[in-house]
Amino acid sequence: MNIKNILEEKLSEIILNVYQLKDINLEVQENKTEFEGDFTIVTFPLVKQLKKNPESIGVELGEALTEQTELLDSFNVVKGFLNVKVKNQFFVDQFRSVTEGFSTIEKKNSAVMVEYSSPNTNKPLHLGHVRNNLLGFSVAQILNEAGYDVIKSQIINDRGIHICKSMLAWEKFGKGETPETTNTKGDKFVGNYYVEFDKNYKQEISELVAQGSTEDQAKKDAPLIVEAQKMLLDWESGDEIVRNLWKEMNSWVYKGFSETYKRLGVDFDQVQYESNTYILGKDLIQQGLDKGVLYQKEDGSVWCDLTDEGLDQKLLLRSDGTSVYMTQDLGTAVERFKENNIQKLIYTVGNEQDYHFQVLFKILKKLGYSWADQLFHLSYGMVELPNGKMKSREGTVVDADELMQEMYETAKTKTLELGKLENLSEEEKEVSYEAIGMGALKYFMLKVDPKKKMLFNPEESIEFNGNTGPFIQYTYARIQSLLTKANYEYKEVVAVDANQFEKELIILLANYKSIVEKAAEALSPALVANYVYDLVKSYNSFYQSNQVLKLEDESLKQFRLNLSDLTAKTIQKSLGLLGIGTVNRM
């Protein structure tokens, strides 16, 4: 338990004993004012209950804390705020406690599945996928750090009309070329044919419109779309030629995806494929009909009426007996809980799908699945670049691989300009460029609350000052340099007179686990990102205001080195939760 929690607990005891008031929790904050004290206690919640002014309540609480505990050195009351100065030894003991329990994780005995990425196999990953992957992977890391067993999963959308469009375009225009013969990454190769289909399809529509057809009719009658729909029917009936082409083109895409995921630093424990899951859910429809939860129209289509829930009526089975996306998602959810011993399932999907998940969760609850309350849609806002939005069909998508390479190039240019890596070997420099570039990208993406739409600015993200990944990585490398120069080894320091900079650092270090818990509860990497930024700012203030290596007082020197070491470990651990690596020299 950290000092802040101890203060809160003692205050609750005093309020109960002195005022006979239960369940009153006063807020304890780190003191950021010019008034003396380590913490500030807000007394206003007691004013109404006690019918006293906040100043007298502050004095009473300060006196009670002084008399009934060994915590305080002194206190003062300013405008109803109680500022307390905690005895120095508590900070030293707190630091020792944090150091000893740094890597201890209390297991929750609860398993969570986090779904993210889930791309289509007709195009490469883009900027939106980057935020999705980084967010899903980071949430999984945070949940694991908070003591949960985590299963990272994705479902790949590997079937449907959009996949057939790429296949048909390759068949018509590809002339037998492959990713190998054209030296093109597999997912980009297939994506090029998706764009090629769209270009030729638009041309056919224009020609039909010129011949007198309406645009809507032309879109249905264009030969290319008719052929693509025929190919989809052939795929569904198991046509061997279509299926073999499908397998080959998807294998090209998977190889490309794998390279992107590796550079992005994300992975998966389970992968499902829509080609296997799209038939799931049909049995559930019959169960729903039998229970009276679903109803069938005269044309044979099956629906769920959610109007009483403030939603609409949702189609689950077409009149021809074919399923829709919702049917598949119902079946996939049931399958996941059946095949895995999980207590919670988190879907990392953009906010344009908010309504879809509201409907999905309501239907599962109506079907009687108790775990439906443990489903969560981690909804996030779209990403834009300074020059505007993305359009995938037209081939103007912001490609994930190109973005990562741009980050690497920008990191290289910036570090060479600043002369930060002059003493490193070429191999070390390459590792640093990659770590800095990817760290900048990931930190900038994750420091923003997931729910917010964001503008990603590559240039701004790679600055070595301010709230950026490189600034945090640089502080970590700076500490490593300090520890190397000192030939550092950990030795326990029992008593030392900690100053205000050291106390602030200790408080922040002690907050690490509570931040992880809060981030796990909120499913928000932004809490970790902002925490590590605050920690780095605090350390830099400490470092600029206190000597370390030139100190003659060996005990104080050891204490400050210990403090530096634990700060570096906490920075590294926090960045790790964001999927960001560190380098020892920058």
Half-sphere exposure of 557 (CA within 13 A, CB side): 13
Residue 482 lies in a domain: yes
Q: Could you tell me the residue range of the domain that residue 525 belongs to?
A: 410-577
Strand segments, DSSP code E, in 116-267 are 149-156
Residue 473 in 3-state DSSP?
helix
Q: What is the pLDDT of residues 439-484, one digit of tens each?
A: 999 999 999 999 988 888 888 898 888 999 999 999 999 999 999 9
For every residue of 375-432, DSSP letters joined together read EEEEEE--EEBTTB---TTTT---BHHHHHHHHHHHHHHHHHHHTTTTTS-HHHHHHH
Structure tokens, 486: 């000192």
Of 261, 329, 332, the closest CA to residue 119 belongs to 261
The residue among 379, 347, 383 whose CA lies nearest residue 128 is: 383
Asked if residue 360 is part of any domain, the answer here is no
Quickly tell me which residue has 């000192």 as its tokens. 486
The answer to whether residue 297 is domain-embedded is no
| Cα–Cα dist 4/27, whole Å | 10
How many other CB atoms are found less than 10 A from the CB of residue 416? Answer: 13
- Cα separation of 532 and 535, whole Å? 5
What's the pLDDT tens digit per position in 154-208?
Answer: 999 999 999 999 999 999 999 999 999 999 999 999 999 999 999 999 999 999 9
Residues 72 and 174 in one domain: no
- 54 & 197 share domain: no
| Number of alpha carbons in the 13 Å side-chain half-sphere of residue 485 | 12
Give per-residue burial for 179-217: e unless 16+ CB within 10 Å, then b: beeeebbbbbbbbbbbbbbbebbeebbeebeeeebeeee
- Residues 28 and 169 grouped into a single domain: no
Are residue 71 and residue 173 in the same domain, yes or no? no
Asked whether residue 171 falls in the same domain as residue 82, the answer is: no
Is 332:100 a contact under the CB 8 Å cutoff? no
Last residue of a domain, one of 86, 110, 130: 86
Last residue of a domain, one of 205, 234, 257: 257
Residues 199 and 64 in one domain: no
What would the two tokens of residue 277 be? 């899951």
Count: domains in the chain: 3
pTM of the model: 0.91
Residues 171 and 55 both lie in one domain: no
- Residues written for the chain: 586
Angle, vertex CA 314, rays to CA 310 and CA 318, nearest 5: 170
How large a percentage of the chain has pLDDT more than 90? 75
Query: Are 538 and 434 part of one and the same domain?
Result: yes
Distance CA(409)–CA(407), nearest Å, equals 5
Q: Smallest Cα–Cα separation from 331: which of 377, 275, 372, 285? A: 285
Print pLDDT tens along the chain (586 aa).
Answer: 688 888 989 999 999 888 888 888 888 888 877 778 899 998 888 888 888 898 999 999 999 999 998 889 999 999 889 999 999 888 988 898 888 887 677 899 999 999 999 999 999 999 999 999 999 999 999 999 999 999 999 999 999 999 999 999 999 999 999 999 999 999 999 999 999 999 999 999 999 999 999 999 999 999 999 999 999 999 989 999 999 999 999 999 999 999 999 999 999 999 999 998 888 888 899 999 999 999 999 999 999 999 998 999 999 998 988 888 899 999 999 999 999 999 999 999 999 999 999 999 999 999 999 999 999 999 999 888 776 544 444 445 688 999 999 999 999 998 888 887 888 889 999 999 999 999 999 999 999 999 988 888 888 898 888 999 999 999 999 999 999 999 999 999 988 999 999 999 999 999 999 999 999 999 999 999 999 999 999 999 999 999 999 999 999 999 999 999 999 999 999 999 999 999 998 7
Q: Is 442 within a domain?
A: yes
Q: Does residue 572 share a domain with residue 448?
A: yes
Whether 488 is in a domain gets the answer yes
Q: Please indicate, yes or no, if residue 144 is contained in any of the structural domains.
A: no
CA angle in degrees (0–180, nearest 5) for 306-310-313: 30
Nearest C-alpha neighbor of 238 from the set 162, 316, 159: 159
Q: In terms of domains, do 431 and 561 share one?
A: yes
Q: Where among 257, 290, 314 does a domain terminate?
A: 257
Radius of gyration of the chain (CA): 29
The domain that holds 539 is classified in CATH as 1.10.730.10
Q: Is residue 230 assigned to a domain?
A: yes
**Contact predicate 152/140, CB 8 Å:** yes
Helices 3-19, 88-100: axis angle to 10 degrees equals 120
CB-based contacts of 208, cutoff 8 Å, min separation 6: 217, 218, 221, 222
Domain assignment present for 378: no
Question: In this structure, which long-range contacts are made by residues 421-429, counting pairs with CB atoms below 8 Å and at least 24 apart in sequence?
Answer: 421/585, 421/586, 423/585, 424/585, 428/583, 428/585
448 with 571, same domain?
Answer: yes
Token pair 């900027």: residue: 127
- Report the CATH number that the domain containing residue 50 is assigned in CATH: 3.30.1360.70
